[in-house]
Each structure stands twice: as C-alpha cells, then as structure tokens.
Structure 1
C-alpha cells in the first residue's frame, strides 16, 4: 500500500513539474517570437528599436536553447543594422543566424538569411548579391514559400536596377507585383509600384513614373512607412529635376530629409545630399552645389563601395574560420565524450559481468543447496517409511500380545473358577477332619492319612492348574 501511494505521488509530482516547465517554455517562446516580430516591423521606421528588441529576444532565446529562435533573433538584429547603415555589424549577425539555421536544418530560415545577405551586397557587389538571392530563391521554390519568392523577385529587380539593367529589373518587379497582388499584400504591392515608377523615370517615361510615385508616396504617408516616404521623395526629386520643376524637387528633398533624419539613416541622408547637389547644380547655384559635393557621404564613391564589400567579405572569412575552430572544438569535445562514454560503457560492462558471475555462482549454490535439501527430504521420507513400518509391526506385536493376554486372563479367570471349585472340596474335607479330630471322633492315624490324602489332592490340583496355564492348548472342563 505504501509503495502504491509513493508511486501515485511521484506521478502527480512529475505531472505538475513537467506541466509547469512546458508552460514556462511555451510562454518564453511566445515572448521571443513577439519581440522579433515587433522589431522586424519597426525596421523601416526605427531600426534602433529593431536591434534593441531583437537583442532582448536573443538573450531569452539563448536561455531557452532553441536554435531557430536564436537564429531568427540574430537575423532581425542584422536587418536592424542593415537599415541603420552598418553593414559590417549586419553581416556578422546574418552569419551567426545562418549557422544556427543550418544546425537546425531550417530551410525557411536559411532562405531568409541568404536574401538578407544579398540585400546587404546590393549596393556594393552585384554578383555576390545575385548569388545569395538565387540561393534563397532556389530554397524558397523548394519549400514553396510564395511570400519569400515574391520578395526575392523584388530584391533581384533592385540589383538589376543598380546595374542599370532597367528592362530586366522591370520584368522582375512585375513578377513580384503579380505575386504580392495574388497574396493580398498591399504594403509590398505599393513598394513594387514605387520601383516600377523608378524604372519608368530612368526610361524617360516621366508622366507614368510621377503618377506611380505620387500614389506610392501618399500610401506610404497613410501607413507611416517613413523609409518608403524618404526613398520615394529622392526619386521624385530626381524626376522633378529632370523635368526642370525645381521647386517641386526642393519640396520633395526637404520632406524626404526630415523622414531620413527621423530614421537616422546615414545612407539615405547621403543620398539626399547628392540629390541636393544635383538640384543646386541644375539651378546653377554652384557655391551651394560645391558645399553639398564636399559633404557627400563617402559611400557613394566606387572606392568606398569596394572597401565596404571587402570588409564584408573579410567578416565572412573570419566567421568561417571561427566556425571551423568551433567545429574543431566540438569534434575534440565529441571525441572526449566518446572516450568517456566508451570507458563508462566498459565499466558498466565489467560490472555487469561481475554481477552475472555472482548471480551464476549464487544460482549454482542455490542449486546445490536445493539438491542437498532434496536428498535430506528423501532420507527423511525413507526414515518416515521405516518408522511407519516399525510402528505397524509394533502394532501387530501389541495386538498379538493383547490377544495373548486376553486369552491368559480368560484362562486365569477360568482356572481361578476351576481351582476354586476343585480345591474347595479337599479343603472342606480337611477342615472337617480337623474338627472331628478335635472332638476325638476319629482315629488320629486314620485322620492323618485322610488329611495327607486331601493335601496331596490339593497339590495335584495346583500342579495341574499350573500346567494348564502354561499350555495354551489345554482348557478347563
């Protein structure tokens, strides 16, 4: 009963403990996902918050031990750094994310990271950008992730746009727009329309471009997408400069700068300075144009782009070296664990052998003991049979003796009666003679003869009775 109560208590205790653990893990996982989603949604309006929220999610994810959650946190941090104009920090985060996704065999996560890395190379190394984006597209098509496929066509179009391959870019933008329209994603449909408007601008179709860009700008303001507003304003400013509508261009630049400053996006601010330089140059305000030209952000120069690309590549190489070192350490640790496991198994095997030997010896001893007990039981059985036979024989002897005694007692009774009858006569005669002699009524000699005759008769009767008692064949008459 006590064992049953203990067993039931252990089951209840285990249920409560594991239930609480599961509840904690589920709550923690939900909080991590929430922080990552919130951070990612803020990437355009406030990339600093993106980094902060994803960093908090990363701390929780590392405690939880879920590799994919750790990877997603690193990925969102990289997105934040990318939008904040810090490509070196972004690539480092992306590479960590990719390692964790690969370790978890998470294809969807790997595809997202390759896409992010492609976007990071977009302004600095078109070939690497397309290489990573195509890797991502191949995985996305394999797992049929339509949202990611649509985004990749959009991003590949952006790379071709920067290569000034406008028709190829337009083709990819249209594919992306078609997919996002089917998916009902209005935000990215508007972005596609913005990019198509930019292509029309570069192809000299200003009216079509302006119509699309103004509509896109209005939608971005309606939904507080600051990054998009600033990006559209740059293109509108360039478009108005090309059309000679300088006041409209200045208004677009002023508006875009405000949003870029809110975003604290160094890359966008640099682009606005370059567009301001072009505006002042067109106005022939050369002094102001020179001021903007001197202050233009170095990122716009080809040499700086090469430097950034080289630094990103260097970080990738460094990360791969760290990964190899980590793999070597893991291999050494694995080998050490395998050795420990081998010796542990060996020790357990030796202990099992010893236990088996002891058990076999114990079984043998028990077998021998059982054999001895069986022999003793057999001997006891034999002794019991002998005793039974002896008791039976004794009973027969007792029965015979009893019968003999009964016969003798019967004879004694018979002889006693016979003797009493046979002897009584001579004794009575003897007593009569004695009385006659006392009274002097009989001759003494004759009296003595008669008395002697009576005594002889009594002796003869006694002897005869003795013979009869010892001779079982004789009976009284």
Structure 2
C-alpha cells in the first residue's frame, strides 16, 4: 500500500512539473513573438513598439524569463530612440545590457552596445564610437556578419559627424553590398539615407536627390514613416541650398505631416526650424518670427518634459534596483527550493530503489523458502523411504539371523549326531575285522554284517542330509528309528 502511495505521489509530481514546463515553454514563445513584432513595427509606429515590448516585459517577468525581459527592454529602448527620448532609451538599454551580461548572451550584449552607441552619437561621438567598436568586436567573435555590417553603418555616421565623408561612404558601401545581397530593405533605406546626406554635404546634389528618392520609395512601400520624414528633411535642405523654395516648402510640409502622425516631437521641431530658415531665406520676417516663437515654445515644453522624464527615470532606476534586489532574493529562494526539490526527488528515487531492492530481496527469500520447503518435503519422503528400507532390512536381517542360528544349531546337532550315529556302525565294522583276524567269524557272515553296517551308515547319512536341507526341520533331531525318515535305497546287488 505504501509503495502504491509513493508511486502515485511521484507521478503527480511528474505531471505537475511537466505541465509547468509546458506553460513556461508556451509563455516564453509568446514573449519572443511579441518582441519580434515590436521590433518589426518600430519604424512604422514606435509607440506601438513600446506598448508591445511592455506586454512582452510583463509576461517575461511573470514567468521569470530574464532573457525575454532583456530583449523587451532593448526593443523598448529602440522605440524611445526613434521618438528621440534618449534618456529613457539609454536607461532601457542599460537594463537590457545588465541582463544579457548576466546570462552571457553575447549577441544580445552586442546589439545593446550598438543601440547605446546610436544614442550617444548626437552628444559624444568618441563614446558612441567606443560602443560601436565593442559591438563589432563581439560580432566578429561570434561570427555574425549581419551585425558587423549593421554596426559599420553607425561607424560611418560617426565619421560623417566628424566631417570624414569619404571614410563614411567607404563603410556605407561595404555594408550596402551585404544588405543588398540579403534584400534587407530596412538596412538599405538607412544606408541610402546616410549616403544622401553625405552627397548633400559634399554638394553632389543630383546624386543626393537620386539616392534619397530611392530611399523615399522604399520607405513608402514598407511604411518606414520616421525614416521617410528624415528623407523629406534632407531633400528640403538640398532644395533650400539650391534656392528651390517651393520644393523645399513641399517637403517640409510632408515631413511635418509624417512627424505628427508618428508623434516625433524632435522631428517636428526640426521641421519648424526649417520653416524658420525658409522664411528667413525669403526675407519673410513675420513668418520667420512666428516660426521662431513656435520653436522656443516647443523647446521650453520639451525642457519641462525632459526634466519630468529625468525625475521619472530616476524613480524607475530606483524601482528597478529594488526590483532587482527582490528578484535576486527570489532567485536565491528558487535555488534553495530547487535544491530541496532535487534532494526530495533524489530521496524519493532512492526510496524507490530501496523499496525495489527490498521487494526483490523478499521475493528471493520467498523463492528460497519455497525451495527449502520443497527440499524438506523431498527429504522427508526420502527419510520415510529410508525408514521403510531400514525396517525391511532389519526384518530381513532378523530373518537371516534366525535362519543362520537354526542352521548353526542344525550343524551343531549334525556334528553331534554324526559322531554318535556313524561311530556305532564303524565300531561294529572294526569289531568284525578283529573277529576276522582271529578267524572267529566266517567270511559269509562277515560280509553280511559289514554290508548291514554300511547300509546303516548310508541310511543315516541320507537322513541327516535330508534334515539339513529341508527347512521344515528347525532342529536336527533324528528319531530312534532313523530308517523311517528316508527309506534306504533298494538293494540292487543281485542285479549286478
């Protein structure tokens, strides 16, 4: 009964563990899918990217899937980056980096270095370049050519900001060949956008317009709206430099519409500044002043929002540190519980082994006892047979002993009778011989007497032999008239 109960509890435990594993597997796949979708739509709708990444983060925290949390933080950071909320973006990237390092996920670590470099490129080029180089180093170490090519685009951007345009174009061309082979439209659009900017800086306006129009076509086809707004900004700059103000105004309006659609405040401010420079170039001081007021108003609002976000960021960091401490405590508890669980499983397994050994041993003992009983029964039967044989032997021996005793008695009596019965005729013969020596008896009488004595002896010997070999005579006793037992043989002398 105890064995059945233990087996029942063991199978219940296995079933619960299997169910938990299945739930974790299903939820972790859901986290991965949410992160992939969030990253896919980041250029189309960065706010949706942040919302979806938050969903993935909450689910990953629920099942304690830390790599899923790390990727959710990273994707969330890319969403904030596109919305030009750099402080929030960097905080998310650092959270992701901490988790990727903890689990030694080199690819995730390299991706975060690349993302952080993208945020620093507008403020600290040297720092940004150091993050890019870290990314390339890890990418080469794990032999990820795609990541090397992607990060090379960012290195080109650093060279662009450092006015090293040809070096930047060289890096872009190398990356372009890789992504063109892979048909990666997103990366191709980034490279074309950067090349258009570089051509504009080097006053190769026709080449700039050509690549930017190609980039516009890709962005419209794939709905890369934030990048499309940047394309319109660069085209507006190029046409303004060529004093083509109508085209400049058209592209600024297009860019403003897209920036409002995707909610990019920084891009909207940049387009407002372009309107100010356009009005200034047209010597339209009224419109220029109006646009300038809007720029300063939006800057003041942005500053207030930035301060508020910094306070919120500090609070988030504090909450994260506390949460991380709680997570570490929870992990320690989980480790302890895991150790206890493993120990319990081991003890249970050992119990089953001991029980199995005891069952096997008891069965062996039962078999041994059964064999011993069979052997005892067989021995008992053999003993009974031996007892019967012994009894038969004793009776046979007793019979033989009695027979021998009787025969010994007969032999003794035979010896006694032989010496007595045979002695008398022999003495008679001797006496007759003495009489014959002295001529006291005639020959005929002597012969007759000797013949009588010989017949007497022969008759007695026949009687003795008859009694010796006949079992009905228990004792050797001759009657006084011994000739009556066995008649002497017929006298055939006259015939001869």
Is the shorter-chain TM-score for this pair beyond 0.5, marking a shared fold? yes
Note the C-alpha offset of 1:397: 5.1
CA distance in 2, matches of 1:258, 1:215: 20
1:74 correspondence with 2:77: no
Shift of 1:60: 3.7
**CA gap 1:313/1:173 in 2 versus in 1, 3 angstroms:** farther
- 1:43 Cα deviation after fit: 0.8
Cα deviations by residue, 1:19-68 (Å, 9 ceiling, x for unpaired): 9975x666555543333232222112211111222222334444555443
Note if contact 1:97-1:113 (Cα within 8 Å) is conserved in structure 2.
Answer: yes
Question: Do 1:51 and 1:77's aligned partners in 2 also have CA atoms closer than 8 Å?
Answer: yes
For 1:152-171, list aligned pairs within 5 A: 152-171=151-170
User: Which residue of the partner structure matches residue 39 of structure 2?
Assistant: 40
Q: d(CA) in 2 for partners of 1:112 and 1:72? A: 10
Q: Does residue 483 of structure 2 align to residue 472 of structure 1?
A: no
Instruction: Show the 5 A alignment for 1:372-451.
Output: 391=391, 394-396=394-396, 398-400=398-400
Give the equivalent residue in structure 1 for 2:427. none
**Structure 2 match to 1:108:** 107
1:273-299 per-position Cα deviation (integer Å, ceiling 9, x unaligned): 222222222223334333433443549
Structure 1 stretch 383-392 or stretch 200-209: which is displaced more?
383-392
Whether the aligned pair in 2 keeps the contact of 1:125 and 1:309 (CA below 8 Å) is: no
Contact kept, 8 Å, 1:147 with 1:183, in 2: the verdict is no
Contact 2:189–2:218 under 8 Å retained in 1: yes
SS at match of 1:117: helix
Partner SS, residue 74 of structure 1: helix
Q: Does the CA-based 8 Å contact 1:200-1:206 persist in structure 2? A: yes
Secondary structure at 1:204 match in 2: coil
Separation in structure 1 between the aligned mates of residue 214 and residue 83 of structure 2, nearest angstrom: 26
Is the CA contact (8 Å cut-off) linking 2:233 and 2:251 kept in structure 1?
Answer: yes
The aligned counterpart of 2:491 is none
| Number of the residue aligned with 2:91 | 92
User: Is 1:184 equivalent to 2:187 in the alignment?
Assistant: no
Q: 1:20 and 1:286, CA in 2 relative to 1: closer, same or farther beyond 3 A?
A: same
Residues 265, 342 of structure 1: alpha-carbon distance in 2 compared, 3 angstrom cutoff: closer
Match for residue 226 of structure 2?
227
Over aligned residues, Cα RMSD in angstroms? 5.4
CA–CA distance in structure 2, aligned partners of residues 89 and 174 of structure 1? 32
Q: Distance in 2 between matches of 1:101 and 1:201?
A: 39
Q: Is the 8 A contact 1:221 1:229 kept in 2?
A: yes
**Contact 1:200/1:208, CA 8 A, preserved across alignment:** yes
Alignment of 1:240-279 (within 5 A): 240-279=239-278
Change (3 A) 1:329 1:49: same
Match of 1:411 in 2: none
Query: How far apart in 2 are the matches of 1:311 and 1:16?
Result: 45
Alignment of 1:27-66 (within 5 A): 28-63=27-62, 66=65
**Partners of 1:16 and 1:340 in 2: CA distance:** 16
CA distance in 1, matches of 2:76, 2:332: 31
Conserved in 2, the CA contact under 8 Å of 1:55 and 1:77? Answer: yes
Contact 2:88 2:309 in 1 (8 A): no
Q: 1:395 to 1:120 in 2, by over 3 A?
A: farther
Q: What is the count of residue pairs matched by the alignment? A: 395
How far, CA to CA, are the matches of 1:385 and 1:162 in structure 2?
Answer: 117
Distance 2:62 2:117 in 1: 30
Instruction: Quote how far apart the aligned CAs of 1:326 are.
Output: 6.7
Tell me what 1:83 maps to.
82
SS in 1 for 2:117: helix
Contact 1:173 1:196 in 2 (8 A): yes
Separation in 1, partners of 2:18, 2:99: 27
Secondary structure at the counterpart of residue 284 of structure 1: coil
Q: Deviations over 1:72-110 (max 9, x none)?
A: 233222222222233333233323333333344322222
Query: Normalising to structure 2: TM-score of the pair?
Result: 0.62
Residue 198 of structure 1: CA displacement? Answer: 0.6
Distance, in Å, in 2 between the alignment partners of 1:342 and 1:228 is: 53
Query: Secondary structure of the equivalent of 2:192?
Result: helix
Contact preservation (8 Å) 1:82, 1:90: yes
CA drift of 1:152 comes to: 0.8
Secondary structure, in 3 states, of the residue corresponding to 1:105? coil
Deviation of the 1:115 alpha carbon? 1.2
Judging changes above 3 Å, is the alpha-carbon distance between structure 1 residues 402 and 266 closer, same or farther for their aligned structure 2 residues? farther
Q: Which runs of 5+ in 2 are unaligned?
A: 363-368, 408-471, 479-483, 486-496
Q: What is the CA-CA distance between 1:333 and the residue it aligns to?
A: 5.2
Greater CA drift, 55-64 or 139-148: 55-64
Deviation at 1:474, TM superposition (A): 1.8
Q: Judging changes above 3 Å, is the alpha-carbon distance between structure 1 residues 318 and 26 closer, same or farther for their aligned structure 2 residues?
A: closer
Give the direction of change, closer, same or farther, for the CA distance of 1:313–1:123 in structure 2 (3 Å limit).
Answer: farther
Partner of 1:236: 235
Change (3 A) 1:159 1:214: same
Q: TM-score, normalised by structure 1?
A: 0.64
Contact map agreement 1:81 1:87 (CA 8 A) in 2: yes
Alpha-carbon distance in 1 for matches of 2:67, 2:342: 32
Post-superposition offset of 1:260: 0.4
